[in-house]
Amino acid sequence: MRSEKAGTSTYDERGRGGGVTRSLWERARPEARDGPKMAAPCRVGDRGAGGGRCTVSSRTEPIRAEPSGPRQPPFRRAPGPCLLLGRGLFGVPRWGGVRPSGSVAPSHPAPSSRTQRLLQKLSLHYYDVEGLVALVSKLRRWNLYRKNKRLLSWESRYGPNVAATLFVLQKGGGVRFRGQEQWYRVDAKGRFCRDFMDHPEIPVEEVDVSGSVVNYYGLDNLEPLKELKALHLARCPYVDDWCLSRLHIVAASLEELTLAGCPLVTERGLACLHHLGNLRRLDISDLPAVSNKGLTQILVEEMLPRCQVVGADYRDGLREPGRPGR
C-alpha cells in the first residue's frame, strides 16, 4: 500500500518481522542512514563465490570510497641547495630538505650594497640565514678568544717575562728589555730570535702591540710584568673602553701609553685612566669615537695633572670667541 505524506513518498512493506516504513532516499542510499558499509565477515574454511576457501581472519573493515577529484602529484625535491632546519650539537645547524617548488619567496626591497644583495639571494634558498650568520660570528669570537688566551704553561716553565714576550711576538708586536736598545720583533716570515729565553730574569720594559688583535683577555698576559714602563696600543681594532679599565694591572709602573687610532675608544674609556697615577705621556690622537676632542683633553689633563696629553687640540670641538657656534 502506498501512502503520501508532506514532501515524501513511502512504501509500506511487510516482511517476516512486521511492517517497515522506508523513504525512497533511504532505499536508494542506505549508507546515509546506517553509516559506511561493512564487509561481510568471513570465517576460515568457508567457500567463497569462486569456490575457493577463505584464509583471512574474521576482522571487518569499512569500505573507503576513492576520491572523485584528480590525484595530487607526489612531493618532489626542488633542485638547489639544502636549507637549515634547527640546530644540532654545539649550536651547529642541521641540514635537511629543501623549499618546496610551489612555495613563493617573500618580496623584499631592493638591496643597496653587495653584501645585502648576497644575503637576500641566500634568503631565497635558505630558511635560517640568521642562524648561519650567528654561527660565523660565534666562531670568530671563539677564534679571537683563543688568540688572546694567557700562556700559563709557558709562564710556569720559563717565567712571566718569557711568556709575555712570546705572546707579543706571536701577535706581530715588539718587546724591549731593560737595559737594552735592541727590539725583538718578527721578520717578514714570522720568525724571531729566541735568545731572550736564556735570560728569563731580565724584566720587560716596553711592549708594542700596535695593529694587533689584542683585546681585553689578551691584557692578562701583561699582568706579571711589574716593571713595564711603556705600552703601545695604536690602531688596535679590538681595544675598547673595557680594555682601558683593565690597565690597572700595570698602573704601578706604567709611564707611557699610546692609544692613537683605536676606533672603539670613547670618553668613558679615557675616564678609566684615572688610576694610572704614574703616567707621564698619553697619546690620544685620531680617536674617531671621541666626539669633542678639545674638551676631552681638558678633562684628561685635570684628571692626570702630571701627564702630557698629546694628539688633541683645545680648539677641536670648542667654539672660538667672536665666532658663532655651528
Look at residue 95 in the predicted model and tell me its pLDDT.
Answer: 45
- For the stretch 188-209, pLDDT in tens is 888 888 888 988 999 999 999 9
What secondary structure letter does DSSP report for 29? -
Look at residue 131 in the predicted model and tell me its pLDDT.
Answer: 74
If DSSP states are collapsed to H, E and C, what string results for 48-95? Answer: CCCCCECCCCCCCCECCCCCCCCCCCCCCCCCCCCEEEEECHHHCEEE
pTM, entire model: 0.60
In the predicted model, is pLDDT for residue 266 greater than 90? yes
Look at residue 86 in the predicted model and tell me its pLDDT.
Answer: 43
Question: How far is the first Cα of the chain from the last one, in angstroms, to the nearest whole number?
Answer: 110
223 and 204 in contact (C-beta within 8 Å)? no
In the predicted model, is pLDDT for residue 173 greater than 90? yes
In the predicted model, is pLDDT for residue 2 greater than 50? no
What secondary structure letter does DSSP report for 126? -
In the predicted model, is pLDDT for residue 305 greater than 70? yes
Contacts for 111 with CB less than 8 Å, ≥ 6 apart = 117, 119, 120
Strands 230-232 and 204-208: parallel
* Local structure of 10: helix, strand or coil: strand
Q: Across residues 122-132, what is the average pLDDT?
A: 69
Q: Across residues 123-131, what is the average pLDDT?
A: 68
Specify the higher pLDDT residue, 130 or 164: 164
Specify the higher pLDDT residue, 119 or 96: 119
Q: How far apart are CA 11 and CA 14, in angstroms?
A: 10
In the predicted model, is pLDDT for residue 182 greater than 50? yes
